[in-house]
Structure 1
Amino acid sequence: MKKEIIIFVLCIAFFKGYTQEYCPIIPLPEKIEKSKENFALNRNTVIVFEDEQIKRIGDYLQSELLRSVQITLSTSNKKAASEIVLSYSKAVPNVIGAYKLAFTKNKVTISGRDNEGLFNGVISFLQLASSAKKANNIINIVGWQITDQPQYNWRGLMLDESRHFFGKKKVKQTLDWMAFYKLNRFHWHLTDQHGWRVEIKQYPKLTTVGGIGNYSNENAAANYYTQEEIKEIVSYAAERFIQVIPEIDMPGHASAANRAYPEFSGGGSKQFPEFTFNPGKELTYQYLTNILRETDVMFPSQMIHIGGDEVHYGNEKWNTDGDIKQLMEKEKLSDLKAVENYFFKRMADSLLLIGNKVLAWDEVAESNLPKNETIVFWWRHNKPEQLQKSLDKGFSVVLSPRSPMYFDYKQDSLQVHGPNWKKFSLNSTENVYHFNPEKIPVVFPKNNLVLGIQANVWTERIVTEQRLDYMMYPRIAALAEAAWTKNSNRNYAQFILRLKDQFPLYKKSGLYYFDLTKPDLTGEPKE
C-alpha cells in the first residue's frame, strides 16, 4: 500500500505543474489526441441518430446524461446547431466494440461499425461529461480525437450470490458500473452448497427448500430470483451490451439442491456432506437436463457455466455407491476422475442439444469435450498446466486466475478480512492492473484461444453490500483497463491519476469504496 500512496503523491505533484490536461477515460483508449476545440454541452444540444436502429443507444445516452450530470437533451434524426451525432462508419477499426470519438466546437461525433462499438463510444463520452465542470447549466467538455478498440472481447466479472444474496437492486448497480467501464460479460454464480438462487418451475423445492440459508446462517429465510426477475435483469444487462452467463454448478457444490431433492444426491464427505449429484443414476441426467432447459429459456447468451470444480472435496461416497460401481463397470471407467469426465460429457451433450456452449472451470481440461463448443475458465494460477492442457486441446479459455483476479482476496497487507493466496500474494489494485497473460508459463498457440479476462467475486466472507463495494471498487476499474488496454499502453501512475477522478462518482452513487490513497484502513467494513 505504501508504494501506491507514493505513486499517487508523485502523480499529483507532477500534474500540478503540467499544463496539458489528461484524458480521464477508464479504460485508457488506444489512440488519443487533444482536440483544438472543446464542446459546450447544454440543454439545446440534440442527440442525433442517423439510423433508426441506433435510437435505443441515443435514448440510453439521453437518460444517463440526466442521471449523471442533470442535463436534459432531446433526440432527433435531424441535424442541430449543437449536436451529438451517433452513426455507423467503416472508418472505425474492424473489431467488435471498436469506436471513434471526434470533437468540434458544436459537434461531437460518436461512430462505430456495430451497436456495441457505438455504445462504447457513448460510454467514453459519458465519462468525459461526468468529469467535466458544470456552470450555468453548461458542461464544458475537453475535446479529444479518439480511436479505440478492445484488447479482448471477453471482459468479465463474476458475482457469487449463493454464499450471500444481494438482490436485484445491487445487481443492477453492478451492471451499471460494468457498463461504465466497458465490461461486457456478467458471470452469475447462482447455485452452490449454501443456497439455490434461481427459480426452476419444474422443481419448486430447489428455491423454497434449497434457497434457505447462506454461508453465515444456514437458517436464513429463502432468497432467490424468480424467472421474471431473472428476465428483467438479463434485459437490463442487454441494454448495456452485457451478456449474462448463469452458472449451475455440478456435479459438486450441490448441497443446496440435494436438500431439496435428496434422491439425486451422490453423497459427500464428513466436511462436505451431500456435496455431489449422483452420476450413477440415469434419472440424475434427466433431472439436471430439465434444469438446464429452463435456465436456457431465461438466458439468451446461449452459454451456461456448469462448474465442474473441486468435486474431490466431497465425492467420497462414490467409492461405495452401488449405482456408481455399476456405471464404472459398464463404461469401463478406471477411477473417480473418469466418472467425473463421463458425467461432464453427458451434461455437455445436453447443453449442445439446446444450442448452448459448455463453460466450466479448469478441472475439465482432462475431459474430451468438443473443442469448438467449450470454454475453460483457468482459475488455479498455481496450475498453469491446466491452462496448457486446455490450449493444447483447442479449448477457448478465459483467464480468471485466483491471483490476482479473485476480488474476495485481500487487496492490502493491512486489511483484516479476506484471504490471500498462501500469504505471499495480495490482489492489490496494482497487481490486477498489471496482469499480463504473456507472463504465464505456457505456450500460447498462434490461433490465440484466449477470449479474455475475468475477475471473480466469491462471497463467503462478503456479507453486506458495504463489504461487497469495498472489495470491488476500485479494483473493477483496474480489471477493465487490464482487459481493454494493451500492456504496452498501460501506465499505472497515470491510471492512479485517472482513478482519483472516479472517487467522487463512487461517493455520489453511495458506494463504500476502498480509497487506496489513504495510509490507514480504519474504514474497512467487517465481513
Structure 2
Amino acid sequence: PGIFYYFVRRLQEGSRYTHLKSSALNMKKYLLAVAIVFAIIPAVAQQNCPVIPMPVKAQKGSGTFKITAQSTISPEDTSLLPLAAWLQEELLRRCHINVPLQRQPGGTVILLKKATGTNAEAYTLSMNKQTATISAAAKEGMFNGIVSLLQLAVAAPASGNTLRVPCWNITDAPQYAWRGVMLDESRYFFGKEKVKSILNWMAFYKLNRFHWHLTDMPGWRLEIKKYPLLTTVGGIGNIADPKAPAAWYTQDDIREIVAYAKVRCIDIIPEIDMPGHAGAANRAYPAFDGGGTAKYPQFTFNPGREGTYAYLADILTETAQLFPAQLIHLGGDEVTFGNAGWDQDTGIIRLKQAHGLKDRKQVEDYFIQRMADTVLRLHNKVMAWDEIATATLPADSTIVCWWRHDKPENLAMAFQKGYSVVMCPRLPFYFDFVQDSSHKIGRRWKDGEFNPLQSVYDFSAAAIPAAQGHESHILGVQACLWSETIHSNNRLDFLLFPRIAALAETAWSNPAAKDFNGFKTRLKAQLPLYEKDHIYYFDIFQPGKHVESGKAASNYID
C-alpha cells in the first residue's frame, strides 16, 4: 500500500505542475502507474517472505496466527502423526512452546491435510488468524510445508509463551528432486551427534539427500560384521593423526541415524570407495591390495584377483541391508593416482588378455561394471563420480556425480549414455574451498578461484553448455564437504554455514526468480538461529566475528 500511495502521489504532483495537452494522456499515465504498482506489490511481498529456500509463490495474508500451548496440531489421519510429532518436537526445541496433538482441534489449529496431485514434494500453506492449513499429496510435500511454517514461526516475534506468526499463503514445489550434502568422515570422524545436527539443518532448508563418504585412505568408518578388521584396523587414524584411535559407526549406529534422517525425509546414500582410495581397507585385508605409489601406498583394490569381487560383494551386501535408499555410491574416482602397478600384476595381465582390455582405464571400467552388477543384484541403483562415464552401465540405474568442473566432456558423455546426473562441480559446490578472499585455510582452484556465498547462490545448470538440452537427466545439485582441512566441529560449521542456505535456494527455487540481495536480507534473520544452535558460522556481514580454525592441507589428491 505504501508503494501504491507513493506512485499516486507522484502522479498527482506531476498533474499539478505539468501542463498536459490531453486528459486522455493523463488517464493513460494514471492507469500505467496503477498497473506498475500491482505488478510490483506481489514481487515485493514474495521477497519479504522470510522462508529459505524462497517459495515459488508467497503472498502475505492479513493478521497473525498465534501459536501457544493452547493451540493444537491436528493431522487429518493417522498416517500424518509422525510428521505432526516432528513439528511438535521442533516447536518445543526451537520456540519452547509445547503444542499438543489432538484429533479434535480447539483454539488456533495447525491442520495437516491430504490433497491430490502428482508432485510428491509440492505443498500449499494457507493461513488466517484461526488456522494454518498445510496440504500435500505425499509425506514429502507435507514435510516441506511443515518446514515453511516452522521457519515462519521461529522468525516470528514472541511475547511470553505466544508466537505471533504473520499469515502467509504459499504454493510451492522444488526445482530439483535431488538437493544434497556430502560429508567425508573417512578423513575426520565427527560422530553421531554432529551428523544429526547436519541432518537437522538439512531438513530446515528442505535438503533431502545425505551422501555419506564412509571409506577412503585415512579410515574405514562402517562396521562390516563379516570383516571386523575393516574398522578395528582400517578405522585407525585420520587426516590429522594417522595413529588416532579407531573410530567407526556400528551397524546399530547406522540404523539409528538412518531412522533419524527418514523422519526428516532425508535419504542417506553410503559411499564405499573403489577401486581407488582403498588404503584403509587394504591395511586391514592386504590380500586384496592392488598396489599404489610412494605417495599413495595401497591405493587400489586388485581387479585381477577373483577373491576381490567376492570380498567387495560381501561388503556391499551388508551395506545395502543398512541403507534403505536403494542407492550405493561406488566412488570410482582418481584411480590413476595409484594404479601404475597394475601393468606388472600377473593377475591383472591375465585379466586383460582374457577380456581384451587394452589399458588400465579399461581394467578400471571392467571392475566398475562387475561391482555395479553386484549393486544391481541387491536391487540398488549405482552412483559414482564422473570418471565412470566411460563405463558401460544400465542407463536407467546409473547416476553420475559430475564433480570436475574442468572436465565438461565427462558430463557430456554421461548425458550421451543416458545416465542421470547430480551436479556437484568443485566450483562452486566443494565447500572445503575457502569462501572469502581473506581466508587462508582450505582450497583454492589453480587460478585462485574459490567458492563464496554468491557463487553457490548464482549457480545454474543452464549456464553449462554441456548440460543444455539435457535438463531431464539432471536430478539436482549437491555440495561436498571434504575434510582434509576439517579437524573439528567448529571448522565444519565454518565451511558449511551459511553456504548451506544458498545451496538450498539454488536447489529449490526457480533461477529466474532468484535475487541475491533479497536472499541476503532473509539470511541475516537466520544468523540468530545459528547462534542459538551454537553453530560456528562464517558471518558475511561481520567477517571477523568468527575466526577460521584448522590448518592448511598440503596433500590433496584431486
**Smaller-chain TM-score bracket:** over 0.9
Q: CA deviation at 1:229?
A: 0.2
SS at match of 2:446: helix
Q: CA deviation at 1:43?
A: 1.0
- Note if contact 2:65-2:130 (Cα within 8 Å) is conserved in structure 1: yes
Among 191, 214, 237, the residue aligned to 1:167: 191
- Note if contact 1:37-1:103 (Cα within 8 Å) is conserved in structure 2: no
Give the structure 1 partner of residue 109 of structure 2: 83
Cα distance between partner residues in 2 of 1:165 and 1:202: 22
- Note if contact 1:391-1:445 (Cα within 8 Å) is conserved in structure 2: no
Q: CA deviation at 1:447?
A: 6.5
Among 494, 510, 533, the residue aligned to 1:486: 510
Cα distance between partner residues in 2 of 1:504 and 1:526: 24
Q: Is 2:290 the partner of 1:266? A: yes
The letter for the 1-side match of 2:66 is A
Q: CA deviation at 1:431?
A: 0.3
Among 324, 327, 336, the residue aligned to 1:300: 324
Cα distance between partner residues in 2 of 1:526 and 1:458: 14
Which stretch has the larger CA shift, 198-207 or 129-138? 129-138
Q: CA deviation at 1:521?
A: 6.8
In the comparison of the two structures, how many residue pairs are matched? 508
Return closer, same or farther for 1:120/1:19 CA change in 2, 3 Å cut-off.
Answer: closer
Cα distance between partner residues in 2 of 1:254 and 1:443: 32
Give the structure 1 partner of residue 79 of structure 2: 53
**Structure with more contact order per residue of length (Cα contacts < 8 Å, sep ≥ 6):** 1
Cα distance between partner residues in 2 of 1:256 and 1:56: 39
Q: CA deviation at 1:344?
A: 0.5
1:356-375 to structure 2, matched below 5 A, reads 356-375=380-399
Q: CA deviation at 1:443?
A: 4.5
- Note if contact 2:261-2:268 (Cα within 8 Å) is conserved in structure 1: yes
Cα distance between partner residues in 2 of 1:123 and 1:20: 17
1:110-125 to structure 2, matched below 5 A, reads 110-125=134-149
- TM-superposition CA deviations, 1:493-523 (whole Å, max 9, x none): 0100100111000000011000011254762
TM-score normalised over the length of structure 2: 0.90
Q: CA deviation at 1:136?
A: 2.4
Among 291, 296, 304, the residue aligned to 2:315: 291
Q: Is 2:152 the partner of 1:128? A: yes
The letter for the 1-side match of 2:436 is D
Give the structure 1 partner of residue 67 of structure 2: 41
Give the structure 2 partner of residue 211 of structure 1: 235
- Note if contact 1:360-1:375 (Cα within 8 Å) is conserved in structure 2: yes
Q: CA deviation at 1:79?
A: 3.1
The letter for the 2-side match of 1:360 is A
Cα distance between partner residues in 1 of 2:481 and 2:167: 36
Give the structure 1 partner of residue 258 of structure 2: 234
Cα distance between partner residues in 2 of 1:272 and 1:523: 33
Give the structure 1 partner of residue 99 of structure 2: 73
Cα distance between partner residues in 2 of 1:463 and 1:479: 23
- Note if contact 1:96-1:153 (Cα within 8 Å) is conserved in structure 2: no
- Note if contact 1:191-1:248 (Cα within 8 Å) is conserved in structure 2: yes
Q: CA deviation at 1:524?
A: 1.8
SS at match of 2:212: strand
1:90-101 to structure 2, matched below 5 A, reads 90=116, 94-101=118-125
Return closer, same or farther for 1:448/1:20 CA change in 2, 3 Å cut-off.
Answer: closer
Return closer, same or farther for 1:491/1:79 CA change in 2, 3 Å cut-off.
Answer: same
Return closer, same or farther for 1:239/1:272 CA change in 2, 3 Å cut-off.
Answer: same
Q: Is 2:341 the partner of 1:317? A: yes
Identical aligned pairs, as a percentage?
A: 50
Return closer, same or farther for 1:216/1:378 CA change in 2, 3 Å cut-off.
Answer: same
Cα distance between partner residues in 2 of 1:520 and 1:24: 26
Q: CA deviation at 1:95?
A: 1.6
Q: CA deviation at 1:277?
A: 0.2
Q: Is 2:182 the partner of 1:158? A: yes
Give the structure 2 partner of residue 476 of structure 1: 500
Among 142, 158, 183, the residue aligned to 2:207: 183
Give the structure 2 partner of residue 401 of structure 1: 425
Which stretch has the larger CA shift, 73-82 or 118-127? 73-82
Give the structure 1 partner of residue 301 of structure 2: 277
Give the structure 2 partner of residue 256 of structure 1: 280
Cα distance between partner residues in 2 of 1:396 and 1:519: 39
Unaligned runs of 5+ in 2: 1-43, 552-558
Q: CA deviation at 1:227?
A: 0.3
- Note if contact 1:415-1:521 (Cα within 8 Å) is conserved in structure 2: no
Cα distance between partner residues in 2 of 1:288 and 1:194: 19
Cα distance between partner residues in 1 of 2:104 and 2:143: 20
- Note if contact 2:485-2:550 (Cα within 8 Å) is conserved in structure 1: no
Cα distance between partner residues in 2 of 1:254 and 1:221: 19
Give the structure 1 partner of residue 356 of structure 2: 332
- Note if contact 2:155-2:525 (Cα within 8 Å) is conserved in structure 1: yes
Among 438, 446, 457, the residue aligned to 2:462: 438
Q: CA deviation at 1:126?
A: 0.6
Which stretch has the larger CA shift, 220-229 or 129-138? 129-138
Q: CA deviation at 1:147?
A: 0.1
The letter for the 2-side match of 1:499 is L
- Note if contact 2:539-2:546 (Cα within 8 Å) is conserved in structure 1: no
Cα distance between partner residues in 1 of 2:303 and 2:221: 23
Give the structure 1 partner of residue 30 of structure 2: none
The letter for the 2-side match of 1:158 is M
The letter for the 2-side match of 1:186 is F
Give the structure 2 partner of residue 354 of structure 1: 378
Cα distance between partner residues in 2 of 1:97 and 1:193: 38
Unaligned runs of 5+ in 1: 1-17
Cα distance between partner residues in 2 of 1:292 and 1:484: 32
Give the structure 2 partner of residue 104 of structure 1: 128
Return closer, same or farther for 1:177/1:268 CA change in 2, 3 Å cut-off.
Answer: same
Cα distance between partner residues in 2 of 1:96 and 1:452: 16
Cα distance between partner residues in 1 of 2:306 and 2:180: 35
TM-score normalised over the length of structure 1: 0.95
Cα distance between partner residues in 2 of 1:96 and 1:456: 26
SS at match of 2:58: strand
